Structure 1
């Protein structure tokens, strides 16, 4: 591995479906490591539709800046105005370290680059939580905090050994852990049945009293929940957490998936949803059990990335006959580069129904204020361990190896060829 010529994925920023695998022979040898730094090399990563979202919103949210083009990048790919690198979630191995408590051979979990080029990052230890570090490198200080937070696994730990063995649990970590975090925040805080835990979902004041969010908004007891893109990993985890509630915890009356025909079989097989509707149905006439009666109660629509604006279209129609309706934007579907401008334009138009959008970083910051940072991370970890053990029924993992397979997986995602029942995970 020491003599291997590193290679990285580089994207056309205007057409991020277009990629190149670029070898970097002049990147070697690596420069001596600075103090308080780690040299990290991606070990395991997962590809999901989220990777395309990072590219689509890379300029607006500074995601292109997290892993800049290396100085040894050859022309024409060294033009940072046109080309860039995006990231994935997964593990990176510590090749070298000047942090005494994190020896070489350790691993970190977090936001990792697509490539085999090792990177040097300056870090500091969390003052209270001994398995977390923060990146302090100057070029990353303007991005959201979660992208600079990494979890550390020493070689002697159980997880450290699993990472080296590339177990199924490690594949779940790479492909589902960040999805679980969003679902955990939504179900445990934004839509908590405990008024003392409720936090607002997106941008705005942190104080519940001064925000446009209330404990009543958060209450899903006896509500009907519609989930678009129900086969997406974040949606399935969120729905499973709602389904697992007892009556006193505010379990919805019904949890319904609204799926494409091609995804319906998988969504039904998960056993999470009470029923599965088809996006091809007419929302103006569709019959939803319990919602066509007087005093039908609250209807909450969660859009985890339904394609072609299907969730807003349904919500506009449903709002005509259901007054107590809330639309919650969570994610986006596969964004074609040519449609990004239109998406921003639509987001600027106020819809004819009440709508909110969740932001993981906003939710997490507020949740940590509510319960304390240490307690928050402990509870999230317990929740993740349970989900890691139980998983999603019907979801399989397809392992690939090397950057050649990563490139093929990116193309499959861009072409819409990856099944909802398939998780793409790669060993580098």
Structure 2
């Protein structure tokens, strides 16, 4: 039996291709293994960040690919089509981290009523959040359009939620204005929504072409195009959350705000720029925010179910904004996947679109 996999060159993300990989059929599955058909998955600019950071953050090792290539992880839905685990039935639906492929073999472990984990050896060094699969058969929150919203935004909103929690824990480092680059990105406007609810002034930085969309969201107090950032007042502390990953923009902002740059957090790489040696910058030293580390910290502090309860309440408050601003576009087949991948890589996806894909015809 074979799976069709969509892989990309790790040193040149514009190079992509399809390969056929051999997978065991039902009779040859190891004990406790599941054969899952990957039905559909979300693809956003966040997946490009996974690829750019594939080596540094071990994303490439989650779904192995031939030498020099990588399989970009995606969030989506799969159906169990064969099972050697007594507690998991054929026909069950799972939500979690999948390869860009038609099939995945999962070594099911830690099986509970609501979830299971892939215990494959090559996945053990990555954060547990990436190895967990929710059992969502019959759950209306994960069905149809609601399921698409979960796949497209729930993982991104968890990142927004954790960044907001990190800032709140530190009293926003004394800043009452928060700047968000790549303000049209889904992670950014999720964070803007949470900051706005906390009473912070949120300033969205975006391209001139996306200003109208960002302004329409209603969660930014001010929207500024990149060519006008040095016109912002620099007489009071600001926190900067960098979703874009542009060294030039980061340098420009630090030099403009100088000692008033109270916090500079790097979260994303939507602009896919390589890091230049920007040297020492005025103000707070830029730092990377890695959500799985903060999730582990909060899981210990909040106890069992604590994160899920707090996040669930935040998600419920966020969904109405999604319904207003996001159009889900569904595409199937290898050519459609290739097209959306390259359009996302090159920044050609309109911010109001969310793409659900499938390699199945």
TM-score by length of 2: 0.90
4+ residue runs of structure 1 moved beyond 4 angstroms? 26-31, 216-220
TM-score by length of 1: 0.77
Partner of 1:206: none
CA–CA separation in structure 2 for the residues paired with 1:357 and 1:101 = 40
CA–CA separation in structure 1 for the residues paired with 2:87 and 2:14 = 40
Cα pair distance change 1:15/1:135, threshold 3 Å = same
CA–CA separation in structure 2 for the residues paired with 1:53 and 1:34 = 33
Q: Does 1:404 align with 2:341?
A: no
Counterpart of 2:140 (choices 158, 163, 170) is: 158
Q: Does 1:311 align with 2:250?
A: yes
Q: CA deviation at 1:392?
A: 6.0
**Is the 8 Å Cα contact of residues 257 and 275 (structure 1) preserved in structure 2?**
yes
CA–CA separation in structure 2 for the residues paired with 1:334 and 1:259 = 11
**Is the 8 Å Cα contact of residues 42 and 76 (structure 2) preserved in structure 1?**
yes
**Is the 8 Å Cα contact of residues 330 and 357 (structure 1) preserved in structure 2?**
yes
- Which ranges of structure 1 fall in alignment gaps of 5 or more residues? 70-79, 193-197, 199-214, 246-250
| Superposition map of 1:26-45 within 5 A | 27=23, 29=25, 32-45=28-41
**Is the 8 Å Cα contact of residues 244 and 272 (structure 2) preserved in structure 1?**
no
Q: CA deviation at 1:308?
A: 5.5
Q: The residue matched to 1:238 in structure 2 has which SS?
A: helix
Q: The residue matched to 1:20 in structure 2 has which SS?
A: strand
Counterpart of 1:266 (choices 213, 220, 227) is: 213
Cα pair distance change 1:384/1:216, threshold 3 Å = closer
CA–CA separation in structure 1 for the residues paired with 2:166 and 2:247 = 27
CA–CA separation in structure 2 for the residues paired with 1:106 and 1:415 = 36
Q: The residue matched to 1:52 in structure 2 has which SS?
A: helix
- Which ranges of structure 2 fall in alignment gaps of 5 or more residues? none
CA–CA separation in structure 1 for the residues paired with 2:6 and 2:291 = 26
CA–CA separation in structure 1 for the residues paired with 2:264 and 2:50 = 23
Q: Which structure is higher in strand share? A: 2
Q: Does 1:281 align with 2:228?
A: yes
**Is the 8 Å Cα contact of residues 242 and 265 (structure 2) preserved in structure 1?**
yes
Q: Deviations over 1:271-321 (max 9, x none)?
A: 1111111101251xx143xx54xxx4x3111111154531332222211xx
Counterpart of 2:146 (choices 154, 158, 169) is: 169
- Decide which structure has the larger Cα Rg and report it: 1
Cα pair distance change 1:113/1:67, threshold 3 Å = same
Say what the alpha-carbon RMSD is for the aligned residues.
2.4
CA–CA separation in structure 2 for the residues paired with 1:412 and 1:159 = 29
Partner of 2:81: 95
